[in-house]
Amino acid sequence: MAKLIGELRPSGAFVRAAALTNYVKVASEVGLTPSRLLRDAHLDAKALSSIEIRLPAATVGSLLEKSAALSGCSNFGLRMAESRRLSDFGTISLLLMHQPTVSHAMAIVTRYQNMLNEALAMRIEESRDLVLIKEELVADFPGRKTQSVELLVGVMYGLIRSVLGEKWNALSVHFVHAAPGDLSVHRRFFRAPVQFESEFNGIVCSASDFHKPNAAADPVLAQYAERYIDTMQSEISGSTANDVRRAIYLLLPISRASIVHVASTLGLNIRTLQRRLAHEGAEFSSLLNQVRRELAVRYIADRRHSITRIAGTLGYVELSSFTRWFIAEFGKSPGKWRKQEIDARAPAGIAPRRRRPGKVTRGGAPR
């Protein structure tokens, strides 16, 4: 059984200032001047003390990647996640803390997504014994997304551990990107097998843990927190176009990103969905194409992903159809675009080295 459990806004998505919790501390520890980097990103360092302030997700993501590159700290985002606390979720933390199970806590994350992080899309895939929590960053900005992805996965891992207790560990943790040079923080924080160059970003845990009762849950406090949060949520309105983009990001890899499936996922009929999109000046076909463009650029720039695999991820059964679409959108074939990008990034006189994709064992650990 699979269900969508996260939402996201397009490239104009916003995140709470809580996303930069521990940024100043970590940046200082790795030898950076955080005030200067924040100023360069047009972010007010003093304003970060209010975790509910909303910041552009693309700006935050670019800041994390720049900080990692300047410091040479390949685990910058995960270092930030390592020091996060449940209280950093703000007013929703009390509600999360008193949910009866992790499953219920994930449902709360979905319900109040627009108050937490619009740059997160999440999909839960549950089988008899395992639960896959897949996360996707849907914020479009130039360059790598490694730090943002590791921060997202790390924060979610910390949330689950807050519900189940410090002794809990996942069965495995997965990242699409390649392994960094320093894995010490990954080993210390996750205490579980970490698979890089995986098919998805996210966490694999046992179904029994996912539905294990939370001994600290207090239904009375949960009710109180829910009533209070509902009065706040009405002040933040969502967008149908944003919801559609989130669904497309998650449904494309499983070839279900049609308007029929997206409408069903959002609990709407097709005509209602089209009417709401029209009211916002949007069209489903344009949103689908926009997401495809963003994902195409993200994956083609990474040589570990074959062109055939990317075509399938973007919903194309035939490679020739994907190639025609790509040429129409970008003016050149996927292969030529990739070569141009890789050549531009390679140091002068050094040819890019091809990587062999890693194999995955049944338990998710590399071998």
The letter for the amino acid at 136 is: E
Q: What is the predicted pLDDT for the residue at 331?
A: 94
Same structural domain, 139 and 46: yes
Would residue 366 count as lying in a domain? no
Residue 365 covered by a domain: no
Structural domain including 279 reads 240-345
Same domain as 170, residue 104: yes
Same domain, 213 and 279: no
Strand 130-137's sheet: what is its strand order?
A: 2-4, 120-126, 130-137, 201-206, 172-174, 194-195
Q: What are the contacts of 351-356 at 24+ separation with CB within 8 A?
A: 352/303, 354/303, 355/178, 355/303, 355/304
Query: 244 and 227 in one domain?
Result: no
Q: How many structural domains are present in the chain?
A: 2
42 and 126 housed in the same domain? yes
Question: Rounded CA gap, 241 and 136, in Å?
Answer: 17
Do 248 and 281 share a domain, yes or no? yes
Q: 208 with 154, same domain?
A: yes
| Number of neighbours of residue 33 by Cβ within 10 angstroms | 11
124 and 144 share a domain?
yes
- The answer to whether residue 360 sits within a structural domain is no
Residues 40 and 104 grouped into a single domain: yes
Same domain as 144, residue 284: no
> Could you say which of 231, 263, 278 is where a domain stops?
231
Domain membership flag for residue 189? yes
Amino acid identity at 193: P
Helix (H, G, I), strand (E, B) or coil at 158: helix
The CATH number linked to 305 is 1.10.10.60
Instruction: Specify if 283 maps to a domain.
Output: yes
Provide the residue-wise pLDDT of the chain in tens; the chain has 367 residues. Answer: 444 433 333 346 788 888 898 999 999 999 999 999 999 999 887 767 777 788 888 999 999 999 999 999 999 999 999 988 887 777 788 889 899 999 999 998 888 876 778 788 888 999 889 999 999 888 888 888 999 999 999 999 999 999 999 999 999 999 999 999 899 999 999 999 999 989 899 999 999 999 999 988 998 888 878 877 776 655 555 688 888 888 888 888 878 899 998 888 888 899 999 999 999 999 999 999 999 998 898 888 878 788 998 998 898 989 999 999 999 999 999 999 998 877 776 554 444 444 444 444 334 443 3
pTM: 0.74
Cβ atoms of residues 118 and 228 within 8 Å: no
| 226 in the same domain as 194 | yes
Q: For residue 345, what pLDDT is reported? A: 64
